[in-house]
Each structure stands twice: as structure tokens, then as C-alpha cells.
Amino acid sequence: MTRTADRGDELGGQAHLEQLSVQPDFGRRGIGRSLVEATLDAARGCGYSWMTLCTFAGVPFNAPFYAGCGFEEIARPGPALAALRIHEAQLGPDDLGPRIAMRIRL
């Protein structure tokens, strides 16, 4: 059984955290933060300057969690990230609640 998932990609020439999840039974143990830190370290090692992500704005273990890791909301995403947000909206996650793009300088 998988207890965590972490998937990074490249988007618009920068690192992009596509997905991070921790099975709820294993939450609140620092696993998610460790996964974020490892992903950031890997992106730095690849020479990226920024990492972006898209997440739910109001879910405590989404945008507030990432803000605690140093990510900030992007008011005007660049072309690649804006296109991804449009694609995500077409797939339906935005129907579940407001989503935002975030980034962190590496």
C-alpha cells in the first residue's frame, strides 16, 4: 500500500510540483513537509530557479500547508502555468472549490 505520493514535472522551464499526497492515516507526522523539502532540494540540484504548484485555496492541508513551506500565491501566472490552470479547470477540480497557483524561489 502506498502511503505517500510525490510527482514533480517541468512547466515553462521551471520545476512544477504536480502532486503530493500523504494517506490521511499518516498525516500530521511531517511526512508531507519532508516530501516537499526533498522535492525542492531535487529541483535546486537540477538548476531550477522556481517551483510552482496548483492547489485548493481553502483546504488546510493544501494552500495553507504550502504557504507554511514558503510558497506564495501567484496573482498573474505566466503563460505555461495559466494554460495549466485552464486545463485543470476544464477537467473539473475547480468545481470542488477555488484553486490557486503558487510558487517558491529556489
Kindly report, residue by residue over 39-54, the tens digit of the pLDDT: 999 999 999 999 999 9
Domain limits at 88?
4-105
Residue 55 β-bridge partners: 100
**What CATH number did the domain enclosing 90 receive?**
3.40.630.30
Q: DSSP 3-state assignment of 30? A: coil
- Number of domains present in the structure of the chain: 1
pLDDT score of 71: 98
C-alpha cell read off for 89: 479547470
Q: What is the pLDDT of residue 7?
A: 64
Distance CA 42, CA 101 (A): 20
For the record, the C-alpha cell of 12 comes out as 515553462
